[in-house]
Structure 1
Amino acid sequence: MDPDLALLLNGIVSGLLLGGLYAAAAAGLSISFGMLDVVNIAHPAFMVLGALLVALLWGATGIDPLILSVLLTPAFWALGAAIYVVYHHFFERRGDEAIQGLAFFFGVMFIIEVGLVLAIGPEQHFADAAYAGITWRLGEIDLPLRMLVPALVAFAAIGGLALFLRRSFTGRAIAAVAQDREALRLLAIDPVRIKRLAFGISIAMAALAGGALVVVQPVDAWSGHVFIGRVFAVVIMGGLSSLGGCVLAALAFGVVENVTASFYGPSWSPAVAFGCLLLVLAIRPQGFFGRVA
């Protein structure tokens, strides 16, 4: 096989696996930002918090990091629900969620990052899963399990979340809460309770993304900064509240970044990827699967 073609195919496959990580990171934000209209700028910090907790628990127990991330989701759901209660009481209820609410989440992000540095230090942490060193080969294409397994778990979690939102009464209420609160009240549904539940789910998804992240790469307290622009770009490209669009945008983003890095160097990959974001928004402002207002 031609070396350039082999490099391209491996770049595409690796980009799809990287897109699985982006999809896991962006799925929770798609709920909070797209469905609830809560601009949680601290979402990547929660993902890093989950990643570092998983790394510490893995070091203490040896349990697979992805299993640990699943076991952490109830605690992260409770944390997210508690944070939403504070956010609603001091900002959303008074109509101050635009600027003051955004500043609140900046503060939450800063508290998480500084708290992690004070608690465990600035060093990088990594969870060396049993399959992390295994690579499957399909001809000239490499499939590293340290990226394949987290990607499959991420897609399974997103699929389950999509079924919950589409098939359950509570899921449909979550999808409707940002569109028409008064209609929910007429159905005797408390919109605040629904948003508290949904925001908790978004933070629980951050814990799953953290488990995937710490298997793929080392993580420190400041690693969330790398993902802030990427996860918001993925959610916007996908169409805000569309999980299917979020996955498609994450895969596209991962492929563009990885192929660009393979041929032109990693310094070019963010510029090209965000250039594609601008192109998509110029042609289709509502994103891949978004609806025209």
Structure 2
Amino acid sequence: MDPDLSLLLNGIVSGLLLGGLYAAAASGLAVSFGMLDIVNIAHPVLMVAAGFFVVLVGTALGLDPLLVAVLQAPLFYVLGIGLYTAYNYFFERRGDEALQGLAFFFGVMFIIEVGLVLLFGPEQRFLDPDYAFVTWRLGEIDVPLRMLIPALLAMASIGALYWFLQRTFTGLAIAAVAQDPEALRLMAVDPVRIKRIAFGISVALASIAGGALVVVQPIDPSTHNVFIGRVFAICIMGGMASLPGCILAAFLFGVVENLTATFYGPSWAPAVAFGWLLLVLAVRPQGLFGRAA
């Protein structure tokens, strides 16, 4: 096979696997930002915090990091309920959710980052399961399990969320709450309760993403800064509340970023990837799967 073609194919495959990590990171934001219209700028740092606790528990008990991420997801669900309760009490119910609410999540972000530094120090942490050192070779294409298995877990969790949103009453209420909360009240459904559940789910998804993250790369308390722009860009590109759009946008973002890094250098990768975002929005302002106003 031609070396350039082999490099291109490997770049596409690696980009798709990287997109799986981005999808895991952005899916929770698609719920909080896309469906609830809550600009949770702290979502990436919650993912990193989940990664640190995955390393802590996984190292102490000798468990697979992805298993730990799934097991601790209910705890992060409860944390999400607590965060939304505070946000609703102090800001949303008074109509101050725009600027003041954004400042609230900025504060949460900095508190968590400083807390991680105090608890774990500024050093990088990682946890390597056995499969992290295994690479499948399919002809000229290398498929590292370090990236494949977290991507599969991400797709499974997003698929479960999609089924929940499409097939259950609570899921349908989550999809409707940002559009018409008064209609939910007429059906004897408390919109605040629905938002509380949805925000808890979004933070639980951050736990899954954190487990995927520590398998793919080492983390430190400032790692979330790398993901803030990316997860919001993916969410917007996909169409805000669309989970299929989130997945497609994450794959596109990962492939464009990885191919740019492969052929032109890593310093160009973010600029080209965000340029791709602007191009998509210029053609479809509502995003890939969004609905035109």
Q: CA deviation at 1:58?
A: 1.2
Distance 1:286 1:129 in 2: 40
Matched positions, count: 293
Counterparts of residues 1-293 of structure 1 (less than 5 Å): 1-293=1-293
Q: Structure 1 unaligned runs (5+)?
A: none
**Amino acid in the other structure paired with 1:157:** S
Deviation at 1:65, TM superposition (A): 0.3
1:205 is matched by which residue type in structure 2?
L
Q: How far off is 1:56 after superposition? A: 1.0
Q: SS at the partner of 1:37?
A: coil
Provide the rounded CA distance (Å) in 2 between the counterparts of 1:140 and 1:68.
34
The separation in 2 between residues aligned to 1:199 and 1:123, in whole angstroms, is 30
Measured in 1, the distance between the counterparts of 2:188 and 2:259 equals 51
- Per-residue deviation, 1:50: 0.3
Letter in 2 for 1:144: P
What are the Cα deviations for residues 99-124 of structure 1, in whole angstroms up to 9, with x where unaligned? 00000000000000000000110010
Give the C-alpha shift of residue 130 in structure 1.
Answer: 1.2
Runs (4+) of structure 1 moved beyond 6 Å?
Answer: none
Q: For the residues of structure 2 that align with 1:243 and 1:129, how far apart are their CA atoms? A: 29
SS at match of 2:132: coil
User: What is the CA distance between 1:161 and its match in structure 2?
Assistant: 0.4
Deviations 1:86-142 (A, max 9, x none): 000000011111100000000000000000000110010001011000000000000
1:138-165 Cα offsets, whole Å, 9 max, x none, are 0000000000000001000000000000
1:62 CA displacement: 1.1
SS of the residue 2:266 aligns to: coil
Taking the aligned partners of 1:121 and 1:96, their CA distance within structure 2 comes to 35
Cα displacement (A) at 1:194? 0.2
RMSD (CA atoms): 0.4
Aligned counterparts of 2:93 and 2:263: Cα–Cα separation in 1: 50
Structure 1 position 230, deviation (Å): 0.1
SS of the residue corresponding to residue 162 of structure 1 reads helix
3-state secondary structure, aligned to 1:125: coil
TM-score norm. by structure 2 comes to: 1.00
Unaligned runs of 5+ in 2: none
Aligned-partner residue type, residue 182 of structure 1? E
In 2, Cα distance between equivalents of 1:284 and 1:55: 40
SS of alignment partner, residue 267 of structure 1? helix
**CA-to-aligned-CA distance 1:230-254 (integer Å, 9 cap, x gap):** 0000000000000000000000000
1:176 CA drift (Å): 0.2
Q: Percent identity?
A: 72
SS, match of residue 143 in structure 2 = strand
Cα deviation 1:62-90 (Å, max 9, x = unaligned) = 10000000000000000000010000000
- Displacement, 1:59? 1.1
Amino acid in structure 1 at the alignment position of 2:219: V
